Structure 1
C-alpha cells in the first residue's frame, strides 16, 4: 500500500470517474486503474463498483476511502511542519467565494496577497454556498469565504466581519422619501431578489419576514445571481433591492443618493472563512485571513447593533 495508491482512490471517489481522476492526477488511466487494482488485491476487497456510471465506492470502499483521506491529510501535515520551520509560504490555495462577496472583497485581497507571497498560487472560484460546502467536503477547495452560520459540524467557521444590508431605491418606490427605514417598511412586491440557490436571497426574505416572494407589480420575473444586475434593475425598472454594504464601494454620488439605511438593529450578515474540520494549509489560510481583515472597515469587525440574518 502506497500514498500514491491512496491518492488515486480518493481522486476516483472525488470525481466519480477513472478517466477524470487520471487527468487530475496527471497519469494515464491504465496506470491509475492498475495501481487501484493492486491496492484492491492487497486489501482483498473491491473498492469501487465499476458497473455503475458514474462509478461509486462499494460499502467497504467508502470506509477505506474515508481512512485514506485521513492518512493523506496527516501526511500533508508533515510538509506543513517543514514549511513552517523554514518560514516559507508556498503552494496552491484553492478558494471558493460566493458571488455577492467576490467582486467587492477579492480584488484588493488578491493584489496584496500575491505581492507579499509570490510563491503561492491562488485558485479562486465563484460558487453558491451549497457548491462551496460540497467542494470543501470532498477536498476540491481548501477554504471558502461565505455567509455563516452553516450549522454543519464537518466544517469549521472563522468569523471575519459583519456586513450591513442597505436599501437601494428608485425615485418612485415606497421608501424613496425615507432616510432610516424599518424592516416593516419593505414591500416584498417591489423588491428585486437574487434567484434561488443564493444565500443572500434567503437573508433578504428573512429581513422582509417572508419565505416566498410574489412579483405582483411586474409582468415578468427576472432571475439573476448578480448584485450588479439588481442595481441595474432598480435604475431602469423602478422598485428597490437590498444590497450588502461592500457593494457600495464604487457607487457614484448619484447612486449614493438612492441608498437608504435601516434603523437599528441593522440587518446584517456574518462573513466567515470556512474550512473542513480537518483542514490543511493552515499557514496559507491564516495569511489569507490576515489580508482580508487588513482591508475590512473597522466598523465591520464587530456585530454590535446588528441583527444577523440566517443563511438558510
Structure 2
C-alpha cells in the first residue's frame, strides 16, 4: 500500500469514472486500474462496484476511501509543517471565484500577488458559488472567493471585506432624478438580473423582495451571466440593474453619472475566503488574504 494508490481510489470516487480519474492523476487508465486492483488484493476486499455506471464504492470501499482521504490530508500536513518551519511560501493554490467578483478583483490582485509570492503557483477558475462549494468539499479547490455561505458547516469562512450595492439607472426611469433610493422604489419589470445560479441574483431578489415568479416585462426577458452586459442593456434599452461596489469603482466618470446610492442602511454583501475546514495550506491562504486586502475597499470607506 502506498500514497499513490490512495490518491487513485480517491480520484475514482470523485470522478466515478476510471478514465477521467486517470486523466486527473496524469497516468494511463490501465496503470490506475492495475494499482487499484493491487490494493484491493492486498486488503482482500473490493473497493469499487464495477458493474454499475457510474462506478460506485462498495460498502466497505466507502470506509476505505474515507480513511484514505484522512491519510492524504495528514500526509499533506507533514509538508505544510515543514514549510512553516522553514518559512517557505511555495506550492500550488487552486482558487475558485464567482463571476461578480472576478473581473473587478483579479486584474488588480494577480500581478502584485505573483510579484510578492513568486513561488506560489496560482490556478484560478471562475465558477458559480454552488460549484465552488462542491469543488472545495471534493478537495479540487483550496479556496473560494465568494459571498458569504456561512450556512454550510463543512466550510470555514475567512472574512475579507464588505461591499455596498448601487443602482445603475437609465435616464428614462424615475429613479434617475433621485439622489438616494430605496429597494421598494425599484419596479420589477424595469430590473435587469443575472441568470439563475448566481448568488448575486438571489441577493438582489431578496433585497427587492422579488419572488422567483416575478414578471420582468411582458414581451422580452433577458438574463445574463455578465454584469457588464446588464449595464449595456440599461444603456440601450432603459431600466435598472444592481452593481457591487468593486464594479462601480471600475466605471468611467461618465458612467458613474448613472449610479444611485441606496438610502441608509445601505445593502451590502460580505465577501470571504471559503475553505474546507480540513484544508492544509494555511500559510498560502493567509498570503492570499493579505494580497486581496491590499486592494479591496477598507471597512470605513
- Give the TM-score normalised by the residue count of structure 2: 0.96
Q: Residue 109 of structure 1: CA displacement?
A: 1.4
Check conservation: 2:76, 2:280, Cα contact below 8 A.
yes
Partner of 1:293: 293
Partner of 1:264: 264
Deviation track 1:247-302 (CA, whole Å, cap 9, x = no partner) reads 0122112111100000111111010100011012111111000111111121368x
Query: Quick one: distance in 1 between partners of 2:258 and 2:151?
Result: 35
Q: Secondary structure at the match of 2:171?
A: coil
Superposed counterparts of 1:21-60, under 5 Å? 21-60=21-60
Alignment pair present for 1:79 and 2:79: yes
Query: Quick one: distance in 1 between partners of 2:152 and 2:7?
Result: 26
Alignment pair present for 1:250 and 2:250: yes
Query: Quick one: distance in 2 between partners of 1:216 and 1:152?
Result: 31
Q: Residue 216 of structure 1: CA displacement?
A: 4.4
Partner of 1:136: 136
- Give the TM-score normalised by the residue count of structure 1: 0.93
Query: Quick one: distance in 2 between partners of 1:32 and 1:190?
Result: 55
Deviation track 1:105-159 (CA, whole Å, cap 9, x = no partner) reads 1122111110011111100000000000000011111100000134111111111
Superposed counterparts of 1:155-304, under 5 Å? 155-212=155-212, 214-299=214-299
Query: Quick one: distance in 2 between partners of 1:232 and 1:280?
Result: 43
Taking only aligned residues, the RMSD between alpha carbons, in angstroms, comes to: 1.4
Q: Secondary structure at the match of 1:92?
A: strand
Query: Quick one: distance in 1 between partners of 2:218 and 2:226?
Result: 19
Bigger mean CA offset, 54-63 vs 175-184: 54-63
Q: Secondary structure at the match of 1:219?
A: coil
Query: Quick one: distance in 2 between partners of 1:3 and 1:300?
Result: 48
Query: Quick one: distance in 2 between partners of 1:155 and 1:61?
Result: 25
Query: Quick one: distance in 1 between partners of 2:128 and 2:33?
Result: 33
Check conservation: 2:192, 2:223, Cα contact below 8 A.
no
Q: Secondary structure at the match of 2:96?
A: strand
Bigger mean CA offset, 164-173 vs 181-190: 181-190
Q: Residue 60 of structure 1: CA displacement?
A: 2.0
Check conservation: 2:161, 2:298, Cα contact below 8 A.
no
Deviation track 1:11-69 (CA, whole Å, cap 9, x = no partner) reads 11112111121122122211111111111122222111112222221222222111111
Structure 1, unaligned runs of 5 or more: 302-312
Superposed counterparts of 1:9-28, under 5 Å? 9-28=9-28
Query: How many equivalent residue pairs?
Result: 301
Query: Quick one: distance in 1 between partners of 2:100 and 2:111?
Result: 19
